[in-house]
A and B are shown apart, each in its own frame.
Chain A
């Protein structure tokens, strides 16, 4: 009979990636906060969280695509197009409320995600090729839309710029939105059939087909979700940085993928969770913010991020190899 003791629960908990990440976060935070007590101040924590809010939204979108066994390289360009569109609408029609702008961003993202999804699902083009194409197309469309100009802070309405900064119950709207997205997506991937079907398609497409999962539908859904979240992120991006430029969010897809890798999302698809992705994002944020504390120039941030990802990958593989060996030894001594 299954073992329900605390020991087995603890063992299971620590076998999970999430717990390891939390543990690592603490291991990281203790020496940092000893060295620089203000690191754990409310102000600094809220800075880190706000910095990471947009990335976490995008990373969750990327998570669904990777979970289904694909990759979305077009996230940066979708953010740029949506951000630019929102900025320009805000400039030309100041009467449009910021909330509507967020909605506009989401709708734009949905449309772009739909194109990705249809090309992948019905055109049978590998996701990496599809999004390698659309990353160019969407970026080009951003230029066409803006005609090469940009939207600056004084062309935007104060209400829009203030949107992410406004606080509610002491927490910024930006963070509330991120929390909302995280909660919604958690529910989606844990408690809806479609959410679980993404795991099925990523884990074993043939088997998924046998139990009646519609592969094409799932593939479209993941790109729709990714697109919608990027669209939302674009609208927030323009407001938060109070400008919309053509080059915005260039290369952001790599950060999003990095957060997923750190969060234990399997590149071959079918394994990983929202909480892991959020923790992965947080981990990236803490490390980035902690660099000055250990007297390392901000210029080393990229390198440290890369090293962390490589370390995470290595640990993943080694633990898998260890597990396999144990399983083998069980089979025949």
Chain B
């Protein structure tokens, strides 16, 4: 084994320059590709409908995807470490229940938010602790907690809805920044996106996430507390579920137990589409930002063209598969070409 790896290493050393170029090519490729897709989508919709390229419409459309885009940010951390969380929609539902019930009970807006954030954080912490202390796969644990968290909100809420909210609560999910046409939600997303990009790419924490995702064992031998990092990831995600629940409740002003159903897979799709490897260790916040905007505006544009939302799901599903398949096919093509060239020589 070792011998073979050495051989591979040696042969790589020889091809180092070309390999380096290829790596750079590869890493930039997906984001570049996303940009191209994004631009062509914009041009396509602009040509097809006069309502698309309209600042007010474009801004208004962000209401439809800001919350999911926000959730995709902490999910990057989780997937970066090779984990996955399929319980986020359920945590959002649980927090939304808390928000709605607190509102009905006459709580103030700050205390509603604080409660939601607290519940979300605790739920995320619970996920993280179960996964690391019992040493179980994240997908299995969050599958169980998905039912538990959702189940609590179903059990407590039944077929009821919470619809009475204090005056002014609608601000978070419905209003614009004063004097502009930019929704508060979207600004919040942009700020958070920059924050997450900073953490992932510029801090020791972010560097450790990459190390864990590529080799958890090597990270552990370098003094990285892998367990703690993973727990923190899940806890952060829980916290943002609480935040998203506030935004969502504020936007639709009605909380039912089935709120945010199916969001788990949608959000994971955004992250993977953005170029984060499902096995961990590779990806950028910028890519996920592009992925989120692409999906958001694709939905908006197709809605304008009166395409059913269903065609949308097909497009997104295909995009997701191509996101992984395309780079692989390109690599294969390059390798084949190289072999052919060598044979010719």
Spell out A's residues near B (CB within 8 Å).
71, 73, 119, 123-126, 128-130, 132-137, 139-144, 148, 246, 250-251, 254, 257-258, 261, 267-268, 297, 299-307, 309-310, 313-314, 316-318
Q: Do B314 and A123 touch across chains, with their CB atoms under 8 A apart?
A: no
CA distance in complex: A307, B144 (Å) = 7
Q: Do A123 and B310 touch across chains, with their CB atoms under 8 A apart?
A: no
Kindly provide the distance from the CB of A141 to the nearest chain B CB, expressed in whole angstroms: 7
**A246 nearest CB neighbor, chain B only:** B310
B148 / chain A contacts, CB cutoff of 8 Å: 303, 306-307, 310
Q: Does B272 contact A (CB under 8 A)?
A: yes
Q: Do A140 and B310 touch across chains, with their CB atoms under 8 A apart?
A: yes
Q: Does B201 contact A (CB under 8 A)?
A: no
In-complex Cβ contact of B325 among A71, A123, A143, A316 (8 A): A123
Interface segment, one of B149-157, B211-219, B227-235: B149-157
Q: Does B269 contact A (CB under 8 A)?
A: yes
Q: Do B155 and A300 touch across chains, with their CB atoms under 8 A apart?
A: yes
**In the complex, the 3 A-B pairs of residues with the closest C-beta atoms, listed nearest first:** A303-B151, A306-B147, A143-B310
In the complex, which residues 136-188 of chain B have their Cβ closer than 8 Å to any Cβ of chain A? 136-137, 139-141, 143-152, 154-155, 157-159
Kindly provide the distance from the CB of B230 to the nearest chain A CB, expressed in whole angstroms: 16
What mask results when residues 59 to 101 of chain B are scored 1 for a CB within 8 Å of chain A, else 0?
Answer: 0000000000000000000000000100000000000000000
**B135 nearest CB neighbor, chain A only:** A317
Q: Do B311 and A144 touch across chains, with their CB atoms under 8 A apart?
A: yes
Q: Do B262 and A148 touch across chains, with their CB atoms under 8 A apart?
A: no
**A296 nearest CB neighbor, chain B only:** B155
Spell out B's residues near A (CB within 8 Å).
84, 130, 134-137, 139-141, 143-152, 154-155, 157-159, 257, 261-262, 265, 268-269, 272, 278-279, 308, 310-314, 316-318, 320-321, 324-325, 328
Name 21 A/B residue pairs within 8 A (Cβ), A-sorted: A119-B325, A123-B321, A125-B324, A126-B279, A128-B84, A128-B278, A133-B321, A136-B269, A136-B317, A140-B311, A140-B314, A142-B310, A246-B310, A258-B143, A297-B158, A299-B159, A301-B154, A303-B154, A306-B144, A306-B147, A316-B136
A305 / chain B contacts, CB cutoff of 8 Å: 147, 151
CA distance in complex: A246, B136 (Å) = 35
**B322 nearest CB neighbor, chain A only:** A133
Kindly provide the distance from the CB of B180 to the nearest chain A CB, expressed in whole angstroms: 34
User: Interface centre among A123, A132, A300, A301, by most B CB within 10 Å?
Assistant: A132
B311 / chain A contacts, CB cutoff of 8 Å: 140, 144
In-complex Cβ contact of A251 among B262, B272, B278, B324 (8 A): B262
In-complex Cβ contact of B147 among A73, A140, A303, A314 (8 A): A303
Secondary structure class of chain B's binding surface, majority of residues: helix
B146 / chain A contacts, CB cutoff of 8 Å: 254, 306
CA distance in complex: A126, B328 (Å) = 12
Q: Do B134 and A140 touch across chains, with their CB atoms under 8 A apart?
A: no
Kindly provide the distance from the CB of B294 to the nearest chain A CB, expressed in whole angstroms: 15
CA distance in complex: A216, B129 (Å) = 36
Given contacts A135-B265, A267-B140, contact A129 B147 (CB under 8 A): no
A135 / chain B contacts, CB cutoff of 8 Å: 265, 317
**A141 nearest CB neighbor, chain B only:** B314
Kindly provide the distance from the CB of B146 to the nearest chain A CB, expressed in whole angstroms: 7
**A138 nearest CB neighbor, chain B only:** B317
Q: Do B154 and A300 touch across chains, with their CB atoms under 8 A apart?
A: yes
CA distance in complex: A254, B139 (Å) = 11
Given contacts A125-B324, A144-B311, A299-B155, contact A133 B143 (CB under 8 A): no
Given contacts A125-B321, A148-B310, A267-B137, contact A306 B278 (CB under 8 A): no
Q: Do B312 and A310 touch across chains, with their CB atoms under 8 A apart?
A: no
CA distance in complex: A86, B279 (Å) = 38
Given contacts A140-B317, A143-B310, contact A254 B154 (CB under 8 A): no
A302 / chain B contacts, CB cutoff of 8 Å: 147, 150-151, 154-155
B325 / chain A contacts, CB cutoff of 8 Å: 119, 123, 125
Q: Do B143 and A309 touch across chains, with their CB atoms under 8 A apart?
A: yes
15 new A-B contacts at CB < 8 Å, known A133-B320, A134-B321: A119-B325, A125-B324, A129-B324, A133-B317, A133-B318, A140-B317, A144-B310, A299-B257, A302-B147, A302-B151, A302-B154, A302-B155, A303-B150, A303-B155, A306-B151
Q: Do B144 and A129 touch across chains, with their CB atoms under 8 A apart?
A: no
User: Interface centre among B149, B159, B310, B328, by most A CB within 10 Å?
Assistant: B310
Q: Do B139 and A267 touch across chains, with their CB atoms under 8 A apart?
A: yes
CA distance in complex: A299, B256 (Å) = 13
**A258 nearest CB neighbor, chain B only:** B143
B143 / chain A contacts, CB cutoff of 8 Å: 254, 257-258, 261, 309
CA distance in complex: A308, B321 (Å) = 34
CA distance in complex: A305, B144 (Å) = 8
CA distance in complex: A169, B159 (Å) = 40
A258 / chain B contacts, CB cutoff of 8 Å: 143-144, 147
A314 / chain B contacts, CB cutoff of 8 Å: 134
B265 / chain A contacts, CB cutoff of 8 Å: 73, 132, 135-136
CA distance in complex: A300, B149 (Å) = 11
Kindly provide the distance from the CB of A269 to the nearest chain B CB, expressed in whole angstroms: 11
A129 / chain B contacts, CB cutoff of 8 Å: 272, 278, 320-321, 324
CA distance in complex: A313, B143 (Å) = 11
Q: Do B324 and A303 touch across chains, with their CB atoms under 8 A apart?
A: no
User: Interface centre among B134, B136, B158, B321, by most A CB within 10 Å?
Assistant: B321
CA distance in complex: A285, B158 (Å) = 20
**B151 nearest CB neighbor, chain A only:** A303
Q: Do A143 and B308 touch across chains, with their CB atoms under 8 A apart?
A: yes
**B319 nearest CB neighbor, chain A only:** A133
User: Interface centre among A71, A306, A309, by most B CB within 10 Å?
Assistant: A306
CA distance in complex: A129, B325 (Å) = 10
Q: Do B318 and A137 touch across chains, with their CB atoms under 8 A apart?
A: yes
A301 / chain B contacts, CB cutoff of 8 Å: 151, 154
B157 / chain A contacts, CB cutoff of 8 Å: 299
User: Interface centre among A73, A124, A309, by most B CB within 10 Å?
Assistant: A309
Q: Do B144 and A313 touch across chains, with their CB atoms under 8 A apart?
A: yes
Given contacts A119-B325, A136-B314, A140-B314, contact A268 B155 (CB under 8 A): no
